[in-house]
Amino acid sequence: MVRNNTTLYDLPSMNEVLVCLKNNTSLHHSYLKYLIKKEFEKLRLKIKNNQISSTREEILEKISYEVLKKSSNSLVNIINGTGIVLHTGFGRSPFLFNTLRTISKRMEGYVNLEFDLESGQRGDRQKHIREHLSAICNSESSLCVNNNAAAVMLAINEFAEGGEVIVSRGQLVEIGGSFRIPDIIEKSGAILKEVGTTNRTHINDYINAISKNTKLILWVHTSNYVIKGFTNTVPLNELGKICVENNIPFMIDWGSGSIFNMNTFGLANEIPIKNIMKNKPDILTFSGDKLIGGPQSGLVVGKKKYISALQSNPLYRVLRCDKITIGLIEETLRTYRDGSFTNNNITLKMLTTSQSTLKNRGLKILNYQTKNKIQKLRIKLQNSIVEAGSGSLPDEQINSMALSFEPKSISVNKLAQKFRCGKIPVVGYVSSEKFFIDLKAVLPNQVVKLAKAIQEV
């Protein structure tokens, strides 16, 4: 028998839904009512268009299910099968459970964030990481704010507000989220003065551009793209000399940043921060959540008087880091050794994991599957090429291994959705009519979980 279309009279009341949810959730009623109203709005529209034929009990069950699903934790753990270790959408640098557990023990209750235990007086939150970061980067002092964009904006505002900032046209970069150097200079209250051309900038371009209005010379590391061919850039040491001769602050935005030469580990020849500091810039900024392997943060190193000036700027209070970020940065700095790092720096560990190791992990995952599952989804283990991500090492292709899926009964896009919506979401990518889960960014402790996710999909 065909059921009649549902009418508005078949909708349950708000109170009925709340009673139904009572034993399943303890969230604030205002939030639950908001979610229930959203479901009512969708159902009313369907009823108006004669698109639903359900009983009152069925509607009540459906609303309750949708509300419970949408009121569950939004921020969840996922398996990154894209191969991109520094994935901005996934929070860039990942963290191990042990690292977070160590931090949580020290962060329980109150902490001495801005309190000097020895003197009993108010302290400085930067003290917890300043000496450690400065020593590693070979600088007089250091500062941490909430991301590298904030670090750049703070520095330009402090040293060039109302004046001109000289930048090579070949360094006017745009990074993720349409963030552009020209825009940040403008918002910092300074005036951009471009010199040179896209591919070639010479020392005289800087010299001829200097005027009484020049407040800062900015050198930007083009970390998310590469210009090849007929090119020229002014060496940092020569640019530094010009700044000294004209009493102009010299600032470097080094983008991704790196504590040591990544070429040592088979990756690109990314110059370490301490080597850049040999050119004696007044200020150097870089990201803490890319090649450093830490939380979202902008790290600033340089001469003490300039760092002190930044910390006295009113913007610093707006941009400073909280206790969790400070604690994670300190823990990240502790993972570094002379020319190496510990396994607790999972970002660098994954970036440097060999293709042979990834192959063994892939075989382990395949061995976990039934023959029927492998045949049904036509799963294969194959070589792949990935990038670091987040604009880091843009010209470097990294060898990896990936599981490819070519399902018989459903589309690859539907399969990708099933993986994303599993108990532990697995995010891969679709290419050439196949679905791929790359193993480069899968954490070692997620290998078994991934194997189970494939079996259950």
Q: What does pTM read for this prediction?
A: 0.89
Q: Check if the beta carbon of residue 16 is closer than 8 Å to that of residue 40.
A: no
pLDDT > 60? residue 42: yes
- Classify each residue of 100-128 as buried b or exposed e, where b means 16 or more C-beta atoms within 10 Å of its C-beta: eebbeeebeeeeeeeeeeeeeeebebbeb
pLDDT > 70? residue 225: no
Q: Which two tokens stand for residue 77?
A: 């753990």
Q: Which two tokens stand for residue 8?
A: 């508005």
Query: What is the Cα–Cα distance from 64 to 208, expressed in whole angstroms?
Result: 70
Domains and CATH numbers, the chain: 8-71 (no CATH), 79-88+349-456 (3.90.1150.110), 112-342 (3.40.640.10)
Pick the closest to residue 435 from 409, 402, 388 (CA basis): 402
Give tens-digit pLDDT for 18-36.
999 988 888 898 999 999 9
Residues 51-56, mean pLDDT to the nearest whole number: 88
Q: Check if the beta carbon of residue 257 is closer than 8 Å to that of residue 292.
A: yes
Q: Check if the beta carbon of residue 249 is closer than 8 Å to that of residue 216.
A: yes
Q: Which two tokens stand for residue 120?
A: 């009993």
Query: CA separation (Å) from 385 to 152, 269, 347, 368, 403?
Result: 32, 18, 17, 25, 12
Q: Check if the beta carbon of residue 103 is closer than 8 Å to that of residue 328.
A: yes
Give tens-digit pLDDT for 287-334.
999 999 999 999 999 999 999 999 999 999 999 999 999 999 999 999
Query: What is the Cα–Cα distance from 451 to 267, expressed in whole angstroms?
Result: 29
Give tens-digit pLDDT for 190-218.
999 999 998 999 999 999 999 999 999 99
Q: For 69-78, 206-215, 318-327, 351-360, which range has the lowest pLDDT when averaged over its residues?
A: 69-78
Pick the closest to residue 407 from 377, 435, 437, 451 (CA basis): 377
Q: Check if the beta carbon of residue 285 is closer than 8 Å to that of residue 252.
A: yes
Q: Is residue 37 exposed (0-12), middle (13-18) or buried (19+ Cβ within 10 Å)?
A: exposed
Phi-psi region of 299 (alpha: psi -120 to 50; beta: other; left: phi over 0): beta
Query: CA separation (Å) from 289 to 57, 174, 293, 337, 348?
Result: 50, 18, 5, 18, 11
Q: Check if the beta carbon of residue 26 is closer than 8 Å to that of residue 18.
A: no
Backbone angles phi, psi at 304, to 5 degrees: -55, -40
Residue 41 DSSP SS3 = helix
DSSP secondary structure letter of residue 195: E
pLDDT > 60? residue 3: no
C-alpha angle 441-445-451 in degrees, rounded to nearest 5 = 80
Query: What is the Cα–Cα distance from 257 to 297, expressed in whole angstroms?
Result: 12
pLDDT > 60? residue 1: no
Give tens-digit pLDDT for 234-266.
999 999 999 999 999 999 999 888 998 877 777
pLDDT at 2: 45
pLDDT > 90? residue 359: yes
Q: Where are the beta strands (DSSP E) in 99-235?
A: 141-145, 164-168, 174-175, 179-180, 191-195, 214-220
Query: CA separation (Å) from 57 to 17, 53, 64, 367, 402?
Result: 10, 12, 11, 45, 46
Quick one: pLDDT band at residue 455, thresholds 50, 70, 90?
very high
pLDDT > 80? residue 390: no
